[in-house]
Amino acid sequence: MWFLVIFTGYWVVFWQQYISLPGYIHGYINPHADVEIILVVDGLTVICLTLVVNYWARKMPAFQAVILGTVVTSVSWLILAFRPTIWGAILSLFVLALGEIIQQPRYYEYISRLAPPGQQGTYMGFAFLPIGLGSLIGGWFGGTLIHHFGESRASA
C-alpha cells in the first residue's frame, strides 16, 4: 500500500510538466515562449532514447531501476529551479524523460513480482492507480503552489 502512496506522489510531481510548467514558463520565464514545442521534449526523448537507455539498464535489478529513475526524475526539477530559463526547462524535461525511461518499464516488472501467484493481473491493475490519483491531485496541488508562492506574493 505504501508503495502505491509513494508513487502517487511521484505522479503528482510528474504531471506538473503539463499542469504547472506551461503557466510557470509564460508567467515567470518568457510570456512569448512556445510552450507546446518545449513540452514535446519529453515525448521525443522517450521515443528516441527508450531502446538505448533500456539496453543500458537491462541488468539492473527492477527495484534499483525504479529508485534510480525516480531520483533522476526528481533531480530534473532542480535543473529548472537553478536555471529558470527556456533552456533550463528544456534540459529539465530531457532529464525528466530519462528518469521516466529508466523507471517506468521496471516499475511494472517490480509490481508483477510483488504479486502472489495468480494475483498478477489485480496487482497490475492497481499499478495504474497512482497515475490517475497523481493526475487528479496534481492539478489542485500545482495550482495551490503557484497561487501561494507566485500569484499571492506577486500581488502583495
pLDDT under 70 in the chain at which residues? Answer: 151-156
CB-based contact 126:4 (threshold 8 Å)? yes
Which pLDDT value is given to residue 142? 87
The pLDDT value recorded for residue 154 is 59
Classify burial at 32, counting beta carbons within 10 Å of its beta carbon; exposed 0-12, middle 13-18, buried 19 or more: exposed
CA pair distance 70, 14, nearest whole angstrom:
10
**What is the spatial distance between Cα 91 and Cα 79, in angstroms, rounded to a whole number?**
7
- CA dist 66 and 52 (Å) reads 17
| 3-state secondary structure at position 148 | helix
Instruction: Tell me the chain's radius of gyration from C-alpha atoms.
Output: 17
Q: How far apart are the first and last CA of the chain?
A: 42
pLDDT value of position 143: 85
pTM (global) more than 0.95 = no
